[in-house]
């Protein structure tokens, strides 16, 4: 049996350092918000012949200094391009670049396959109202998790109150989300990676994965508590973690292998989204094994001493 709970101070130290580093990175560098939050320019173009790939369009735009362009297919032959801080001069450069890359014959004459449908300035998709609603939704979701877990564990309220399982599950969620945000503060400062709507979707996915993995470990603890009356609580939690650790790691490795495959072969459009998932799933697995269950034992020991 692996002594995970016994050396919990090591895991606490690592988590505390990672969490503090994430907060410092976020405060120091901030988040590099993309056009979903800041607004920018929107261009819709169409091609009468074969539509170029996202990578080809991205490469063409990078050549004139436009990085992190959002590209969305529309219909069979169209594309919607979303930019950050595009003035009319840059707009004309974009048109010229796209025409030269995709609408010229070998002799330099126009093929007539490229057409600009519209160009306009857009406001941020993630407006202040939506941001506020998102925050409230997350708060209510965490409260609902605490209530649900408390009800589900009500039959094993000794020696730890059932609602504490829910609180610790939420603490593990906060741990995973803040560390992921800290990584993206670092990536945004040094590599220009932006925070857009897909990143928010990734955070919500991480929340679901993390709480699921944590509850699986807690559920085994609940089963063992009902079967092994009188045994030391720390020993029961240690046994429960060891019984589920292989399952947790194998499940996460399967997910990570899939995510790495998507990251390598999926192209730049979803790369940042997948990167957030990789970080979140990794730390979600770590927290369910090395943070949540040890916190359960620490809380029980503290309550016993206080009594």
What single string gives the DSSP state of each residue in 248-268?
Answer: HHHHHHHHHHHHHHHHHHS-G
Local confidence band at 149 (pLDDT 50, 70, 90 cut-offs): confident
Whole-prediction pTM: 0.80
- Over residues 52-99, the pLDDT tens digits come to 888 888 888 888 888 777 788 887 788 888 887 777 888 888 888 888
Per-residue confidence (pLDDT) for residue 128, from 0 to 100: 66
Contact 251, 211 (CB under 8 A): no
Residues 6+ apart with CB under 8 A from 259: 274, 277, 278, 281
What single string gives the DSSP state of each residue in 110-131?
Answer: B-S-EEEEEEEEE--SS-HHHH
**What is the architecture, at CATH level 2, of domain 8-34+126-306?**
Up-down Bundle (1.20)
Contact 210, 48 (CB under 8 A): no
Note the Cα 143 to chain centre separation in Å.
Answer: 21
Instruction: Compute the radius of gyration of the chain from its Cα atoms.
Output: 25
Just give the CATH number of 40-122.
3.30.70.3400
Query: Where do you find CATH 1.20.1640.10 in the chain?
Result: 8-34+126-306
- Over residues 259-300, the pLDDT tens digits come to 999 998 877 778 889 999 999 999 999 999 999 999 999 998
Query: Where do you find CATH 3.30.70.3400 in the chain?
Result: 40-122
- Over residues 250-260, the pLDDT tens digits come to 999 999 999 99
């Amino acid at each position: 049996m692996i002594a995970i709970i016994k050396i919990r101070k090591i895991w606490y130290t690592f988590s505390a350092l990672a969490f503090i580093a994430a907060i410092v990175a976020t405060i120091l560098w901030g988040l590099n918000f993309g056009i979903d939050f800041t607004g920018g320019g929107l261009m819709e173009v169409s091609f009468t012949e074969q539509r170029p790939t996202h990578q080809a369009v991205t490469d063409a735009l990078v050549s004139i200094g436009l990085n992190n362009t959002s590209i969305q297919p529309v219909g069979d032959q169209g594309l919607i391009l979303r930019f950050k801080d595009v003035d009319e001069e840059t707009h004309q450069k974009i048109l010229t670049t796209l025409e030269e890359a995709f609408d010229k014959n070998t002799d330099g004459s126009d093929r007539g396959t490229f057409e600009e449908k519209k160009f306009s300035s857009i406001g941020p998709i993630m407006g202040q109202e939506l941001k506020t609603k998102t925050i409230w939704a997350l708060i209510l979701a965490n409260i609902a998790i605490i209530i649900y877990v408390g009800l589900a564990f009500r039959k094993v309220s000794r020696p730890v109150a059932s609602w504490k399982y829910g609180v610790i599950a939420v603490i593990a969620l906060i741990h995973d989300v803040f560390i992921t945000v800290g990584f993206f503060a670092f990536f945004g400062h040094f590599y220009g990676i932006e925070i857009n709507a897909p990143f928010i979707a990734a955070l919500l996915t991480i929340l679901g994965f993390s709480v699921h993995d944590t509850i699986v470990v807690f559920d085994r603890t609940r089963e063992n508590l009902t079967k092994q009356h009188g045994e030391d609580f720390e020993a029961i939690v240690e046994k429960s973690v060891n019984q589920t650790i292989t399952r947790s790691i194998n499940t996460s490795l399967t997910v990570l292998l899939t995510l790495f495959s998507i990251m390598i072969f999926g192209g730049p459009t979803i790369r940042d989204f997948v990167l957030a998932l990789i970080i979140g799933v990794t730390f979600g697995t770590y927290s369910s094994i090395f943070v949540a269950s040890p916190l359960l034992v620490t809380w029980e020991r503290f309550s016993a001493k206080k009594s």
